Amino acid sequence: MEKNVLEKIKEQKDNFRDSEEKVANYILAHWQDVLHLPITELAERIGVSEATIVRMCKKLGLRGFQELKIALATEKIQPIKTIHQAVQEGDDLETILKKVFSANIRAMESTLNVISVKEIERAIEAILNARQLQIYGVGGSGPVALDAQHKFMKTGIPTVAYVDSHMMAMSASILEPQDVVIGISASGSSKDIIDALELAKNRGATTIGITHYARTPLDRVLDIKLSVSSEETFYRTESTSARIAQLSIIDTLYIGVALRRLDKIIENLKLTREAIVPKRF
């Protein structure tokens, strides 16, 4: 039987450098915490570089930190918990319903506590002055990006959402300083989103991130950070409570922009409603 990742760490500790051994000891003692931490925050807690963490992971035969977290979650977390932490095997449907709704409510409440009104205002101002707005999201954040496009196109600001990494990269590479990009990443560790926003930032565009409230790799390419707090963890098959919080931030930005462009919004709502009338029975 193949050894699990914690057993591999114990076996190979003698082969690690001193800094890598510090990482190994922390993971062995606090693996539950590691599941929820971005690599940036973990490196700060241990007092090592991010490169040291990645190097230790590769010595275990893993591609990097994300794969380490996936391995830990797969081995240590009961499968039912990939649906929702609070849901237990044997829960009836009514109990599941209440637990899921409660978690979503908690996600919105905790996000409300960590998000900065000042940063929301800065984001609204940037969007209002934008030549165009682009929104990037991959995986579970993709539908949130598409929802944002659906809303912001009615403001009269040219808006497009991209959920393909190649399209994001190509589009970001030809942006201009008057443009605004919103990148959505629950973990703040999505390489596709980070790379695209870095391209956008290098072109002079304003970059806005909707991401985890802790320090994340995405932070370094952001002009404006809109923080999300939820019980969502990286190893879930789909974003649940984090997605609800992301959508709430998008709604806030949209309403903030709409109230400042009220005449245009009213006109465009009328036009878009008329356009889809023939598509309804």
Instruction: Determine the 3-state secondary structure of 133 from DSSP.
Output: strand
Task: Please report how the helices 5-12 and 18-29 are oriented relative to each other, as an axis angle in degrees rounded to 10.
Answer: 140
Greatest mean pLDDT range, 7-16, 85-94, 224-233 = 7-16
Q: Please provide the average confidence, as pLDDT, over all residues in the chain.
A: 88
Q: What is the CA angle 232-89-70, rounded to 5? A: 40
Q: What is the pTM of this model?
A: 0.72
Q: Inform me whether the pLDDT recorded for 77 exceeds 60.
A: no
What long-range pairs does 10-15 form, CB within 8 A, spacing at least 24? 12/59, 12/60, 15/59
**Measured distance CA(156)–CA(151) in Å, rounded:** 10
- Domains, the chain, ordered by start: 5-76 (1.10.10.10), 99-279 (3.40.50.10490)
Residue 234: pLDDT band (50, 70, 90) is very low
Q: Output the pLDDT for position 239.
A: 58
Q: What is the pLDDT of residues 78-133, one digit of tens each?
A: 544 444 455 677 888 888 888 888 878 878 888 887 888 999 999 999 999 999 99
The mean pLDDT of 253-270, rounded to a whole number, is 94
**Interstrand relation of 206-212 and 180-185 (parallel, antiparallel or unpaired):** parallel
- pLDDT-above-90 percentage for the chain: 56
Show the DSSP H helices in the chain as ranges: 5-12, 18-29, 31-34, 39-46, 50-59, 65-76, 93-114, 117-128, 142-152, 165-172, 191-202, 241-258, 262-276
